[in-house]
Amino acid sequence: MDLIKHFDNARNTVFIEAGQTIFRQGQRGTVMYLLLDGVAEILVGTRSVELAHGGTLIGEMALIDDEARSATVVARTACHLVPIPQAQFDLLVQETPEFARCVMASLAARLRRMNESTAARLTALGPNVRPGRRLAA
């Protein structure tokens, strides 16, 4: 499913200037976003973990599990976004199962990238690192 094409005629889009925060880690998440255009940086604490580009969903985790935001997202360039509030998300999942698969695929891809990053960090630390041992940030 081409998410940008699906939301091509959305009337409730927002524009965020470069350098502005889209949302902050720890905030309650009542909306997720589809990044139509621009580049946004995803930070966990002060660590940059990903650059999001057009077609990327952001903020979906907090919307799905009703927990606080797990990351801060900052516009690195001017960004054009479609906000998707909880009620619209629920309707999209019901009426367009392919949308639900896109959200799950986005989450799975992000988890795979985080797993690869964690594995690379563990490898770089050497063979003395044992599973279950907390790593310094």
List the chain residues with pLDDT less than 70. 129-137
Question: pTM surpassing 0.95?
Answer: no
- Could you give the C-alpha distances from 62 to 3, 31, 59, in angstroms and in order? 20, 8, 6
Helices 97-125 and 86-95, axial angle in degrees (round to 10):
110
Please say whether the beta carbons of 74 and 84 come within 8 A: no
Please say whether the beta carbons of 35 and 42 come within 8 A: no
- pLDDT of 132 reads 62
Architecture of domain 3-125: Sandwich (2.60)
- pLDDT of 110 reads 87
Domain ranges of the chain: 3-125
Q: Where are the beta strands (DSSP E) in 4-122?
A: 14-16, 21-23, 31-37, 40-44, 47-52, 56-58, 72-75, 79-85
C-alpha span between 122 and 120 (Å, rounded): 5
- Could you give the C-alpha distances from 113 to 64, 110, 116, in angstroms and in order? 20, 5, 5
C-alpha neighbours within 13 Å on the C-beta side of residue 126: 1
- pLDDT of 89 reads 94
Neighbours of 102 (CB within 10 A): 20
**6, 12, 23, 13: which is closest to 81 by C-alpha?**
13
